[in-house]
Structure 1
Amino acid sequence: MTIPPAAAAAVFLALIVVAVEGLGSAATIAVIQSSGTVCGVLAGDGREKIRCARVGQPVLAIAPKLSFEEISGGRDFFCGLSSGGLKIFCWGIKNFSAGLVSTKRIYNGPFPLADLSVGMNQVCALDKNRTRVLCWRGDGSFPASVDGEYRSLTSGRGFSCGIGIDNQVKCWGGRGAEFQNSFGNISMQSIVAGDSHVCGIVLSGFLICKGSNSSGQLNVPSGGAFEFSGLALGLNHSCVIKQPNGTVLCWGANAGGVWSYSPENSMGFEFIVAGDDLTCGVITDNFTVMCWNADGINHSSLALPLPQILPGRCVVEDSSCKCGVFPDSESLCSDSGVICKSCGALFISQPPPAPPSQPASPPPVPESAPIFSKSSKGWLAFCITGSVGGLIAIFSILCCIWIAACRNKKVHNSSKARQPAILTAGNIATNSAQSSIGIPTPLISPSGSRSRVLRRHISRATSSHGRGPSSFKERAVEFTFDDLATATNNFSLECRIGTGSFGTVYKGMLKNNREVAIKRGELRSSLRNKKILEKERAFQSELVFLSRLHHKHLVDLVGYCEERDERLLVYEYMKNGALFDHLHSRTGTETGPMDSWRMRIKVLLDAARGIEYLHNYAVPTIIHRDIKSSNILLDGDWVARVSDFGLSLMGPEAEEAHPSVMAAGTMGYIDPEYYGGIQQLTTKSDIYGFGVVMLEMLTGRRAIFREEGEESGEPVSVVEYAAPIVDDGETWRVLDRRMSRPELREAEAVELVAYTAVHCVSMKGKDRPTITDVVMNLESALALCDTRKEDSWSSSNMSFSSRD
């Protein structure tokens, strides 16, 4: 098919424009309609704080002192999205002159959001992945969430709309259907809502408006393709930025026609917003704010005493800027990111296609232009090339099918491994489909037969369930008791390094000079039968799990010993010990790598990845049941590994509950929902324990502690201590006082970790994130640390403690 050059240019332009976000209702300034208040996010102020102003009134500072990406205004309130997208605060200004501001946080993580959009009384936003719309408040006609992929959002009175990845307009709320139907199947690159009308740019670059035209707000001025950008819609007027000089044109408000703002000096604007009869913009030359009224024929300008405002949203990575970086944006963002250039100017020089109302017919093709005719050499070359490409594609598909078939023969049958059964060290449920991994019963059998069965089981467990990351796992070595006694100087006191779920841990040196940790759990006849059974269960459980698991962030099993009444497990030695010991040293004066916020976050990420393997990649799924800081070990390179599987369980699916299992674990880390009698064990129980570890890492407090100087006082859990304060947006108050203050980007990272931790320790398991969500947030936090600048905050920007 021949594509005319003009049409090809239009298609090319459309593809570029699609990637550009429309301003929508989110920007760095906002108008509160009922009071005429204008608020903005300050530029170059260390943290992107918010200030508000009205004509004839002093500037009003807005608390809390957090960093904000964007704000959006409604009828009598406005909202801000914090940097990183994890919090939304809304403010209602009751008495501007008295500085009375009501503050409410309506979102507090755990997932980052983008594209905040405030209508008359509703608040909507996209998740950062742009796969779901979330809404709050409103008149009851707005759904709490809408699934689907969207590029941008905007909101008006009683409706909110978004542009999907198919470029179609979708709307919600009581008036949503009205506006969705008005756009029909028109493909849009951007839309902006006013009170009762919506305007936008179609893919071909032309401006259209839909909705109420009671004041002429739909009477779009004539103009070429891609001539207009930066829309702002008020109660009964519309405004747009005209390219290439950035001047503003407005229409509607019963003014009769179109008027231009500051035509005499061609003042340019970076962007504009509107509310009621007020329109405001950030001036290109100095980033100050200029506003004007659009009431009838009176278009008076208003100078507001706001300082410099960010001319766009700060983003962390300049790689996300498709049209380049805004000049000096790094200083404007206080070294915490850059501002992307507007792509609008790129379209001016391109050949404009016809407006949507007058579709252009394809121009005639010159005779000299090369055409693919059936008799041409070009057509022959095209056919040959296409045929060769088709054969290659078919061959590639056949190869993939053959490889997949071969793998299915070699790899374990996952459908069998995930039959609805749970394997525990003390309650074994088996069926024919899982016989290859079932632990033989009874657990207590003559030592000779038990040893043979155990060796057979380890071999089967490793071969049947050791694929993927565990494919290269060596089989566990069977040691004699004398070998391990020699390695530990006969289990001397000086070799003792700790205790585990079923025994004492010793440091040992094998004959090949390999350092190991040896866990010893005796089954002496002097012990009660119940105690013997518990130790045997723990031994069997840990041996089974570690024999079939191998991952960078799980402790490695070297071997085992089972003689008479002795049960020993041999692990790779973790040179830097347990995380617990680094967080809760006796003197509190030791220094080391764990005194870095980046290192603390990195250790948390390591451990989370180990838990993610257990929950998502082990077959069947494994629930650890005893996640705590003393079970997170650090090797010689300070890589964290999860250890101690004596209480672990294997189950069919991570989300399936197991009500038959008794509560187990360590006080302070046990899932309250499970411990409190609901008795539903899921992977979310591990999430709770890991959330406690995260709070330990942030606060330096034990899971259960007493305040300093109150040794006789009531013990307090770190969850009760830290979670309410973090919820109030004052994370700084609970941070470990032995640590240095976090730098600018570190502060955002620490805050992200804190909010993730608080969600992990939610009382109800359904409200907790999955381990994959936790890993993603920790990866983002670590990336923030890695992009931080070396300069510290100035004293005026170091603390959240004081209010503006």
Structure 2
Amino acid sequence: PESDDGKRTIDGGTAGRTSFSFSTVSISETSNLTLVCALVPSPELNRSSLNCSSFPSPGIQTPFHPNDSFTGIVSGDGFLCGFRPSFSSSNVSVMHCWRFFNNGTTMEFKRIYRGPALNQLEAGNSHICGLNATNTLDCWQWPEFNPTGDQNFSEIAVGEGFVCGLSEDGKISCRGNGAGVTGEEPKGNYQVIAVGFRHACAISRGNDLQCWGNTVVDDMPWGKFNALALGLNRSCALRTNGTVVCWGENNFSLPQELERRSFITIKAKRNFYRGHVELHVHVVQCPDQAHFAAMVDLYAKLVCQLRRPCHQLPRRSFSLLLVVGFFVFRYCKGRGCRVHDSGRLEETVSPSPTNRVSNQPQASLAHAVLEKRPSQLTSLANTGGLEEFSLEVLIQATNNFSEDHKIGTEDKSNAFVNELQYLSRLHHKNLVRLLGFCETSDERVLVYEYMRNGTLHDHLHKLQSSPFMSWATRLRIALDAARGIEYLHEYAVPPIIHRDIKTSNILLDATWTAKVSDFGLSLIGPEDEKSHLSLQAAGTVGYVDPEYYRFQQLTNKSDVYSFGIVLLELLTGLKAIHHNENGAPRNVVVFAVPYIGRNEIHRVLDSRVPAPTPFEIEGVASVGWVAAACVRAEGRHRPSMLEIVKSLEKALTDCLLPPTFSRSSTESST
């Protein structure tokens, strides 16, 4: 059976018939991918199997056999662990863990525990802790943890570098290196304990809320509560009347559509918050998808886009698992639910205007930011050389905002001003030129120069006929894009980190000159390449620097990694994340770099392009080595854009230079 707190209660099979409590749902993130797993009970077989859904598609391919049975699951940053009885002894349990690498395409399996059954199992971002039959604390993936002192806990919660426990008499004790959490525990008697990355909250036996740590806000919610869900700098609490309230960084709050919804349970992991609700909806069945995945996909679309996907079956009532990521919380509060991008999205479906939840601008903090914009825009129009267009002019020029004329739809309230500020002072032949803007009460539009030949992504992956069927052309495009990024890193004052380099953000004008576009995610860079910016990773699946994603420390070498993916796409003709010959998702780095390292680049070159001639192969091979250097695991070992441009200039010269001519007699056309 499943209890009301979203965990399964099972018979421990030991003397005293101990009741064990394990989570039946887990959320794991790796390289901008999210893996949601649930234990699906099978009463007729008296077991539960693991069912997982990964997004964005194609996501992480899990190797679990449908007959594998588990009693509990936990997960964190790049790992998933399952707990189950040992096949050899009913008194022994084992915990198996899978760790994901390379955008989820590589998986490592390891057994990390074999011993007596556990009463509880919890995981934070990095660490796993459990309570054994004597309520003693034990932790894994945490070699520096020192389990000293009184450990008679009835409940535990694991944060980033610390763990908090609740004793039988309601006292709270925290261990580890949680600054602001350990040593600051509140006095009193409590019945619920929950922790986030750097903060903790508890509910007293009188159902009052108490929070402490580094991310506690002054304006705490009021009321009586019975459940908590804490993530990265944000929190949600379940009131005794069933409604949920959320608070935290950047005025985090529950979407308006869910404010009156009655929840049964809530839980958080990093930036994702899920709840258990009772709904009467149409059951859907999607081809080749598990029922759990269909339910997750269904409710995300109901909340965000108000539509039902796939084939509808007869109406029935059931308890639906709601998985709403923070990206849904954040994006659906604005004008649309489309992720940040420029050009046509290769992996994300854009909702139609009729499916948008709300056309109202964001409230609170976002509204305050918007109030400052008129003066900023006026200044940019007067001093930045930008033209302010009327909405009527743009409607006429774009055929009523036809999709054919749109470069992208921004999802962040500050992206509009960001691009104006950056592009109004950036002038380079390999950066898309901003012509002006339009600002009305509810519309904000950026107007760029017309890029007649679309995106590099379309020419590589969509169009049947393209002039990109020669190696010299592809190398010239690579050099154009590299020069644009080099300008941002080396010559812009202050330097700028793009953060979303990809083939769909490289546009082509009427003369086939490549230009870098879309500065909505851009940030002022660090003063030198040894320093960094600490912030949450952003970008596009397959292009995000793994080091940046893992440590959330941004340098210009993160752009270098993304550009390395672009180079590999130009060489192989494959998408950053594509399907191999068996239909399994594969990262282009995993596929191409080993061959490049063995001087076998000919094995990975795009078969649609004629094989390199003897005088082209040297330049093409050089680009392969540059790409491999760009995607090295550690940013400090990657080249700078200045070095990349020099290498590409030489590679293009080699590619264009017939063997009958001396190198000194031929100049690059770029």
What TM-score does the superposition give when structure 1 sets the normalisation length? Answer: 0.36
Structure number with the higher helix fraction is: 1
Higher relative contact order (CA 8 A, sep 6+): 1
Structure with bigger gyration radius: 1
Structure number with the higher strand fraction is: 2
